[in-house]
């Protein structure tokens, strides 16, 4: 009997080795995949290695070769071997990284990786961070904190009173927003009816004049969402101008940096993100540019104090790690949204070969390619 882990390794290697020659798109129909992978729930068990072989054979025709260099659909990067290998360890170790007491090593890896990411993006070191499945849930997590903050500012205790009777929160954004923001607003009970688009200019960038007009008058709990490279036209909003306007009006500023936040890592293109560090929260993705396996992302919030106070866990189930000066992973990584130990993949990649130098060079190359295909606001690429 062969070991199922060896079989999995064999199939993984065969798949990765064939990426340069395999068809880029999966060709199997839904029915063919159902036939190959489904059938009635088996009454008896089967040999573990045979199951792995059957899984690989059945799924193969429906796999996209997005880890290869010839895949240009969606914003999905392929994984580097270091990240895939780290991911294997994640599954083998199978830690529950909810808190230090439960998973000492993985909690510390998460702490380290978050620190490196803040460094890579040039965000304030006191930012809190979390690991989520994708930018969608990174938005939800960061905006949950924003919701608490703006309601508290308006004298409303969300933790105690919830949304019943709360002052409506105005959500300002532009027509170029990604639809995951609309979903986040719905998930968080803030209501699409309270979303308003600020006017945009020639390249889809938000206009400061219209923002200032929308924020003038009676103060209301407000969240503003800006784009660090929107998906369709690649526009970066003018953070250095817009964020101070919003802050002066008491608004919370969130940035959708799903892939655009990575421009910060390139000395050549960092100027596009000037002032982005003034925001209150950011959401960005690992599986777009950092070459880690699907699906990883992270929300970051400007201060630790906010996240700790605003998203308390219901009741401590054992001594909080805070007592020994260790980051409490449970605070922002409420387990409903956090991903099992995803930091490990990034850790694998950030150490080797994706060092800061490697990343700066790679980001420069991709930005240049991307700039050739999309219009951009100043500074011109």
- Phi, psi (5° rounding) for residue 319? -55, 125
281 is a site residue for ligand PLP (CB under 6 A): no
Count residues contacting ligand PLP (CB under 6 A)?
A: 13
The binder of ligand PLP chosen from 149, 251, 297, 339 (CB under 6 A): 297
Report, in Å, the least distance between residue 234 CB and ligand PLP: 10
- Quote the CA–CA distance of 155 and 178 in Å, as a whole number: 31
Report, in Å, the least distance between residue 66 CB and ligand PLP: 13
Residue 180 or residue 273: which is nearer to ligand PLP going by CB?
180
The binder of ligand PLP chosen from 118, 170, 178, 342 (CB under 6 A): 178
Report, in Å, the least distance between residue 269 CB and ligand PLP: 16
Parallel/antiparallel/unpaired status of strands 252-256 and 222-227: parallel
Residue 135 or residue 215: which is nearer to ligand PLP going by CB?
135
Is residue 4 within 8 Å of residue 92, measured between CB atoms? no
Q: How many CB atoms lie under 10 A from the CB of residue 23?
A: 12
Note if the bond before 353 is cis, omega within 30 degrees: yes
The binder of ligand PLP chosen from 285, 298, 327, 363 (CB under 6 A): 285
Residue 87 or residue 230: which is nearer to ligand PLP going by CB?
230
The binder of ligand PLP chosen from 97, 128, 141, 180 (CB under 6 A): 180
Is residue 281 within 8 Å of residue 118, measured between CB atoms? no
Report, in Å, the least distance between residue 370 CB and ligand PLP: 12
- Quote the CA–CA distance of 148 and 127 in Å, as a whole number: 17
SS3 301: strand
Q: Where does residue 283 rank: exposed (0-12), middle (13-18), buried (19+ CB within 10 A)?
A: buried
- Quote the CA–CA distance of 44 and 207 in Å, as a whole number: 64
Is residue 263 within 8 Å of residue 273, measured between CB atoms? yes
Residue 118 or residue 177: which is nearer to ligand PLP going by CB?
177
Residues between 241 and 270 that touch ligand PLP (CB under 6 A) = 256, 258-259
Q: Closest residue to ligand PLP, Cβ-based? A: 134
Binding window for ligand PLP (CB under 6 A); candidates: 84-92, 93-101, 132-140, 184-192:
132-140
- Quote the CA–CA distance of 107 and 371 in Å, as a whole number: 38
110 is a site residue for ligand PLP (CB under 6 A): no
The binder of ligand PLP chosen from 109, 135, 144, 354 (CB under 6 A): 135
Q: How many CB atoms lie under 10 A from the CB of residue 298?
A: 30
272 is a site residue for ligand PLP (CB under 6 A): no
Report, in Å, the least distance between residue 235 CB and ligand PLP: 11
Which residue, among 344, 351, 348, has the nearest Cα to 93 in the 3D structure?
Answer: 344
- Measure Cα distances from 275 to 23, 239, 280 in Å: 43, 5, 12
The binder of ligand PLP chosen from 136, 176, 265, 328 (CB under 6 A): 136
Residue 166 or residue 295: which is nearer to ligand PLP going by CB?
295
Binding window for ligand PLP (CB under 6 A); candidates: 48-56, 130-138, 211-219, 237-245:
130-138
Q: Which residues contact residue 173 at a Cβ distance below 8 angstroms, ignoring those fewer than 6 apart?
A: 181, 195, 196, 197, 198, 224, 225, 226
Is residue 263 within 8 Å of residue 110, measured between CB atoms? no
Report, in Å, the least distance between residue 71 CB and ligand PLP: 14
Which residue, among 265, 233, 266, 268, has the nearest Cα to 377 in the 3D structure?
Answer: 233
Residue 100 or residue 259: which is nearer to ligand PLP going by CB?
259
134 is a site residue for ligand PLP (CB under 6 A): yes
Report, in Å, the least distance between residue 298 CB and ligand PLP: 11
75 is a site residue for ligand PLP (CB under 6 A): yes
Binding window for ligand PLP (CB under 6 A); candidates: 129-137, 190-198, 261-269, 324-332:
129-137
Report, in Å, the least distance between residue 259 CB and ligand PLP: 6
DSSP state of 236: B
Residues lying near ligand PLP in the complex (CB under 6 A): 75, 134-136, 178, 180, 230-231, 256, 258-259, 285, 297
């Amino acid at each position: 009997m062969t070991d199922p882990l060896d079989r999995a390794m064999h199939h993984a290697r065969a798949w990765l080795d064939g990426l340069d020659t395999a068809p880029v798109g999966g060709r199997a129909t839904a029915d063919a995949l159902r036939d190959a992978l489904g059938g009635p729930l088996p009454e008896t068990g089967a040999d573990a290695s045979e199951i792995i072989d059957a899984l690989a054979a059945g799924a193969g025709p429906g796999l996209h070769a997005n880890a290869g260099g010839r895949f240009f659909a969606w914003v999905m990067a392929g994984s580097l071997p270091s990240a895939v290998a780290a991911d294997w360890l994640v599954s083998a170790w199978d830690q529950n990284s909810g808190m230090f007491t439960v998973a000492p090593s993985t909690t510390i890896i998460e702490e380290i990786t978050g620190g490196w990411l803040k460094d890579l993006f040039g965000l304030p070191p006191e930012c809190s961070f979390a690991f989520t499945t994708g930018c969608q849930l990174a938005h939800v997590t960061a905006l949950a904190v924003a919701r608490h903050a703006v309601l508290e500012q308006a004298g409303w205790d969300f933790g105690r009173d919830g949304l019943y009777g709360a002052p409506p929160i105005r959500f300002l954004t532009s027509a170029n927003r990604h639809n995951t923001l609309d979903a986040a607003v719905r998930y968080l009970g803030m209501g699409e009816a309270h979303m308003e688009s600020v006017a945009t200019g020639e390249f889809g960038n938000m206009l400061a004049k219209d923002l200032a007009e929308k924020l003038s008058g009676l103060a209301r709990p407000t969240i503003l969402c800006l784009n660090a490279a929107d998906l369709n036209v690649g526009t970066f909003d003018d953070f250095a101008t817009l964020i101070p306007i919003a802050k002066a009006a008491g608004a919370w500023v969130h940035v959708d940096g799903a892939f655009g936040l990575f421009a910060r890592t390139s000395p050549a293109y960092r100027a596009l993100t000037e002032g982005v560090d003034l925001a209150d929260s950011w959401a960005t993705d690992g599986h777009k540019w950092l070459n880690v396996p699907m699906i990883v992302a992270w929300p970051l919030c400007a201060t630790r104090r906010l996240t700790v106070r605003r998203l308390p866990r219901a009741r401590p189930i054992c001594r909080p790690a805070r007592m020994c000066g260790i980051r409490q992973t449970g605070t922002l990584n409420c387990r409903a949204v956090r991903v099992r130990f995803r930091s490990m993949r990034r850790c694998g990649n950030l150490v080797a070969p994706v060092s800061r130098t490697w990343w700066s060079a790679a980001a420069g190359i991709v930005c240049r390619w991307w700039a050739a295909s999309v219009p951009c606001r100043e500074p011109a690429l």
